[in-house]
Amino acid sequence: MTSEAAPVEAHDTHDVRPIRKAAMWVFLGSEAMFFGSMIATFLLYRNTTADGPGAEIFNIPFTSASSFVLLMSSLTMVLAHNAFEKRDARATRIWLLATALLGITFLAGQIFEFTEFVHEGLKVSTSSFGSAFYMLTGFHGAHVAIGVTMLLAMFFLSLDGRLYEDRGLNVELIGLYWHFVDIVWIIIFTVVYLLQV
């Protein structure tokens, strides 16, 4: 059974892929500084609970399972990129969709967790701890949501054979973004959840 070939258009102009990849690295570098400042803020206020709930309400097993789901999405992203390089459009679509679904699952877990924390009394306005916690984890969740949106957009573009190597937000660039989001979560999970226990 022959796989569909992912279309690649030839251009007379010079190869801009290295420039686009460098631009993505610059963007990710700026995002790393944002996350670094938020992590530092959380560490500064991690013990400032104003007699409200703090890290004791964290459900480490649940968050660990949710984290595992997100980390597995890095594997499916690698498989999507590998399939794209092999011009296997069908496999590319499957792995892009799988990555998006794993990201959605992570977000659903985060929403559930936030809901539980609010019921326990941990709100943005409860304390400096609450503000720093929701700012950091919410900012990361927003990045996951953006990544899921881009993955789904690429999935639908691939249905019409409109994924390209040399223009647009292609699989490689989205892969860089997605792996960055996963690495940041490992740091957040360690600092926010594991070091608080």
Q: How confident is the model at residue 11 (pLDDT cuts 50, 70, 90)?
A: very low
Q: Dump the DSSP string for 28-76.
A: HHHHHHHHHHHHHHHHHHTT--TTS--GGG--HHHHHHHHHHHHHHHHH
pLDDT per position as a tens digit, 104-139: 999 999 999 999 999 999 999 999 999 999 999 999
- The CATH superfamily label for domain 18-48+60-194 reads Cytochrome c oxidase, subunit III, four-helix bundle (1.20.120.80)
pLDDT per position as a tens digit, 41-77: 999 999 898 888 889 999 999 999 999 999 999 999 9
Closest CA to 153 of 168, 136, 134: 168
Percent of the chain with pLDDT over 90: 73
pLDDT per position as a tens digit, 23-48: 999 999 999 999 999 999 999 999 89
Give 138's Cβ-side CA count (13 Å radius): 11
- Provide Rg for the chain, Cα atoms: 19
The whole-model pTM stands at 0.87
Residue 14 has pLDDT above 90, yes or no: no
DSSP state of 145: H
